[in-house]
Amino acid sequence: MKYYFVCLMVFVFGFHQAQNCSYTLIGEIKDFHDGTPITAANIYLKEQDRYVISDFDGKFKIEDLCNGTITLVISHVGCETKTVSIAINGDVFKSIDLEHHIEELNEVSVKSKQKKTTLTAQESVLKSDILKRYTNRSLGDALKEVAGVSSINTGNSIVKPMINGLHSSRILILNNNVRLQDQEWGVEHAPNIDINSADQISVIKGAGALAFGGDAIGGVIVINPERSIRKDTLFGQTTINGQSNGRGYSLTSSLHKNYESGWFAKFQGTIKQNGDFKAADYYLTNTGTKSKSFNVKAGKKTFESGFELFYSYLNNEIGILSSSHVGNINDLLAAIKSPRPAITRDFGYDIINPRQDVTHHLLKASYFKRFKNFGKVNLQYDYQSNNRLEFDIRRGERNNEAALDLLLQTHTFLADVNLDANLERKFNFGILARYQDNYAPDTGIRRLIPNYEKYDLGAYVTTEWRLNDAVMVDAGFRYDFSRVDALKYYQISRWEERGYDDDFANFIIPAQDGQNFGANYLTNPRFDFHNLSGSIGAKYQFNDNSYLLANYSLSTRPPNPAELFSDGLHHSAARIELGDLRLDSELSNRFSLTYDHKTSNFNVVVDAFFNAIGKYMYLKPISVQQSNRGSYPVWEYQQTDAKLFGADLTASYQFVDHWKWQNKTSLIKGYDDNDLPLINMPAFNTLNKIEYSQAKWYNFLASIQSEWVFEQNEFPDFNFSVENPTTGETEILDISTPPPAYNLFHFYSEATFGVSKKTKLNIAFGINNIFNTSYRNYLNRLRYFADDLGRNITLQLKLNY
């Protein structure tokens, strides 16, 4: 009996001990970002349905706890709510980290969609509500929504962005944090981007974003897809477009799946087709387009770490205006004199030669990890394959063979570290390694661009710091090394004519036994370029309504393969293009000022800049060359010291309820070292828009826009005398005189209807060039042959579900 009594006492005493509810949890809430205490955080104890609040030092105490596991839900303004489980076995101390600066780090906040990439550079952001109007058009068309951004075109389908008068290799395009590599040196090479994959686009004027590259003398275009959100959700969007001009259509659709755990997946695809477009009075024969693209991404992202896999595919087939295929000087003379194209046929969807067929693949894998009181580490690998086929009109079976066949493959590795534990002083540094291979097979025509390998190494550091509540400063430095290793055949006569036999004799590869290069040298040009870049800027906040930005950037750009090695005939351009092995890197010194003032009904932004570019590279006509194919002007890459300056104005005014006026105006001037105008500078232009909106009418919006482009009255006189092979007379080949000014009017309207609780239908109707005006754009390479587009009526149906 005594034995049982002892056992019972032990059991009761042990049970009492197990149920001891006198334990205390002392906790501490700290900022994951910089380790500072978080005051007034709410701590909710699920098991007892009670709250406590952290004190000034981030500390809190919960008493009368029993042994076992408890669940705390911690929340604070500006933080991501966090749930933690804590095992109680006696008195416990627990340190818990929250990210108090989650909005600043651009991870969760809806407002982050408007967040700029830079601090002091001249940057404009295009959001999804603007981009949706261009789902059936190109990236270059959409970017013209930004003051100071124009385009240099080859017809209406090949639209290449131009920022403050600079384009092609001087502009860096970043697609989902991958630098686009797609033979961007060619004026007739449009960026291989499906604009429907973008949720936001930032346009940075000048080289103010050193983390992306040091050679962006013209600017940087940052294309960001829609962010994943940590929420269990499934949603999608489908957009159908139709247009009268070209009788075209497009269909784009996307589907997103997100999980609260951080996993996500997205698919997006687009198909487009247009037939022959039409000027005001005639069809533009062989200007149809076909495009298909898709992209898919998946991964997992939490605040502390994450990874992403991304793949995109795009194929564009683009017809080139039949009349632009000229065979010799006589054809070009006739085309420039004629008010209509030499070839005009009835409407059709067929795409024949001359044409382009471009396929682009992009694969990216990225990973990031955050560390307490330190910052964020990013690692990324990406691969791109760009196959460009250009077809000219050729005789016999070779008409189906590309005249230009380029396969460009690029491998890039990036490592980036962001030290942001101290919000008053942030540092960012990184390294880059890139290998690129260009393969140009024999097509029966002298290769315009040779086989080459390119190696790039880069390193950069940037910093930003807050001097006081009104002044922020940022600065950066970057070094880039580039090596180009090419294999190219040169005609011996051309080699000697250009004096290469004296300067580059070491590039010649001697013929081995049995080899016969005929009238050619086989050469191995190899160049190394060392480029330094830097920037410094400041932001001064006058008050809540206005601020001033000042920025200086130094950037260098090595010559691209076209500028070094071009050596052949461009049929559609009716010219021979010659590179120069002596070209050196461009050096840009750019100064800019921005003033931004905003009130409840008025906003004005003024951007001014001056850009001095040493050793500026450009194409210049130098002579006419006779060949068995005819007579062609010869254009040569040359260098000069250039200066560009100008100003961009963006303004809006809500003058009465529902009515708004908007204006975008740009002025730019460019001169060489002899104070002669530079070629292909955009003319003064101004856009004015009156917009009416009424939320009560299904979010109805309607606008009328005037697009006024002045005549370019400052241009270089590159005209020269040629002998007309038909008449034998000497004539002036006028390739310089710009076309007259023009003023176009456009209409746009939209409304949104609720189809169901979670489904909305947006209907948009527009008319471009309402009055069917005939005009030619100075920056369109086909302006010698035909007018630009006439009236175009568009209808868009957008379903969100």
Q: Which of 268, 311, 313, 315 is nearest to 291 (CA)?
A: 315
Segment 428-486, tens digit of pLDDT = 999 999 999 999 998 888 888 999 999 999 999 999 998 998 999 999 999 999 999 99
Supply 401's token pair.
């063979």
Domain that holds residue 407: 223-800
> What are the start-end ranges of the H helices in 63-216?
128-131, 139-143
Q: What confidence tier does 328 reach under pLDDT thresholds 50, 70, 90?
A: confident
Q: What is the pLDDT of residue 6?
A: 44
Q: Note the Cα 733 to chain centre separation in Å.
A: 37
Per the CB < 8 A criterion, the answer to whether 380 and 366 are in contact is yes
Alpha carbon distance 376, 428 (integer Å): 9
Place of tokens 């190109």: 138
Q: What confidence tier does 576 reach under pLDDT thresholds 50, 70, 90?
A: confident
Q: Note the Cα 687 to chain centre separation in Å.
A: 23
Q: Which of 613, 463, 557 is nearest to 120 (CA)?
A: 463
Quick one: three-class SS letters along 352-396?
Answer: CCCEEEEEEEEEEEEEEEEECCCEEEEEEEEEEEEEEEEECCCCH
Q: What is the mean pLDDT of the chain?
A: 90
For residue 184, is it within any domain?
no
Per the CB < 8 A criterion, the answer to whether 240 and 270 are in contact is no
Please tell me which residue, 261 or 570, carries the higher pLDDT value: 261
Segment 477-500, tens digit of pLDDT = 999 999 999 999 999 998 998 899
Supply 214's token pair.
């040091």
How many other β-carbons are positioned within 10 Å of the β-carbon of residue 779?
A: 20
Q: What confidence tier does 403 reach under pLDDT thresholds 50, 70, 90?
A: confident
Per the CB < 8 A criterion, the answer to whether 619 and 152 are in contact is no
Segment 206-229, tens digit of pLDDT = 877 898 999 999 999 999 999 888
For residue 181, is it within any domain?
no
CATH number, domain with residue 751: 2.40.170.20
> What are the start-end ranges of the H helices in 462-600?
492-497, 500-503, 561-565
Per the CB < 8 A criterion, the answer to whether 770 and 745 are in contact is yes
CB under 8 Å to 729, separation ≥6 — which residues? 723
Segment 114-136, tens digit of pLDDT = 568 888 999 999 999 899 999 99
CB under 8 Å to 379, separation ≥6 — which residues? 366, 367, 368, 414, 415, 416
Place of tokens 């011996």: 492
How many CA atoms lie within 13 Å of 458's alpha carbon, on the beta-carbon side? 27
Please tell me which residue, 608 or 2, carries the higher pLDDT value: 608
Query: What is the sign, positive or negative, of the torsion defined by CA atoms of 176, 179, 180, 185?
Result: positive
Alpha carbon distance 754, 749 (integer Å): 17
Alpha carbon distance 623, 718 (integer Å): 10
Place of tokens 């160049």: 527
**Residues 651, 786 within the same domain:** yes
Largest CA-CA distance found in the chain, in angstroms, rounded: 136
Give CA separation, 41 vs 55, 56, 69, 88, 109, in Å: 8, 10, 21, 21, 19
Pairing of strands 50-53, 149-154: unpaired
Pairing of strands 700-709, 630-656: unpaired
For residue 174, is it within any domain?
no
Q: What is the pLDDT of residue 506?
A: 94
Cα 686–692–695 angle (5° rounding)? Answer: 140
Quick one: three-class SS letters along 303-350?
Answer: CCEEEEEEEEEEEEEEECCHHHCCCCHHHHHHHHHCCCCCCCCCCCCC
For residue 463, is it within any domain?
yes
Alpha carbon distance 666, 685 (integer Å): 6
Alpha carbon distance 61, 54 (integer Å): 8
Alpha carbon distance 288, 291 (integer Å): 10
What SS3 class is residue 163? strand
Q: What confidence tier does 104 reach under pLDDT thresholds 50, 70, 90?
A: very low
Per the CB < 8 A criterion, the answer to whether 177 and 380 are in contact is yes
Between 222-236, 237-251, 663-677, the lowest mean confidence (pLDDT) is in 222-236
For residue 484, is it within any domain?
yes
Quick one: three-class SS letters along 7-50?
Answer: HHHHHHHHHHHHCCCCEEEEEEEEECCCCCECCCCEEEEHHHCE
Instruction: Kindly report the backbone phi and psi dihedral angles of residue 331, in degrees, each rounded to the nearest multiple of 5, phi listed first.
Output: -60, -40
CB under 8 Å to 129, separation ≥6 — which residues? none
Q: Which of 711, 693, 794 is nearest to 746 (CA)?
A: 794
Q: How many domains does the chain have?
A: 2
What SS3 class is residue 580? coil
Supply 246's token pair.
């070209």
Alpha carbon distance 714, 83 (integer Å): 66
For residue 130, is it within any domain?
no
Alpha carbon distance 509, 523 (integer Å): 5
Segment 755-783, tens digit of pLDDT = 998 899 999 999 999 999 999 999 998 99
Alpha carbon distance 319, 354 (integer Å): 6
Q: What is the pLDDT of residue 698?
A: 95
Q: Tell which of 77, 98, 119 closes a domain.
A: 98
Q: What is the pLDDT of residue 573?
A: 60
Per the CB < 8 A criterion, the answer to whether 363 and 310 are in contact is yes
**Residues 364, 505 within the same domain:** yes
User: SS3 breakdown of the chain: % helix, strand, coil, rounded to 5?
Assistant: 10, 55, 35
**Residues 230, 88 within the same domain:** no
**Residues 567, 712 within the same domain:** yes
Please tell me which residue, 547 or 74, carries the higher pLDDT value: 547
Mean pLDDT across 224-246? 93
How many CA atoms lie within 13 Å of 128's alpha carbon, on the beta-carbon side? 14
Q: Tell which of 98, 132, 165 closes a domain.
A: 98
Supply 643's token pair.
């200066």
For residue 133, is it within any domain?
no
What is the rounded (10 degree) CA torsion for 636, 637, 641, 643?
Answer: 100
Q: Tell which of 63, 98, 133 closes a domain.
A: 98
Indicate if the pLDDT at residue 602 is higher than 60: yes
What is the rounded (10 degree) CA torsion for 605, 611, 617, 620?
Answer: 80
Q: What is the pLDDT of residue 626?
A: 67
Segment 337-367, tens digit of pLDDT = 888 998 999 999 999 999 999 999 999 999 9
For residue 432, is it within any domain?
yes
CATH number, domain with residue 16: 2.60.40.10
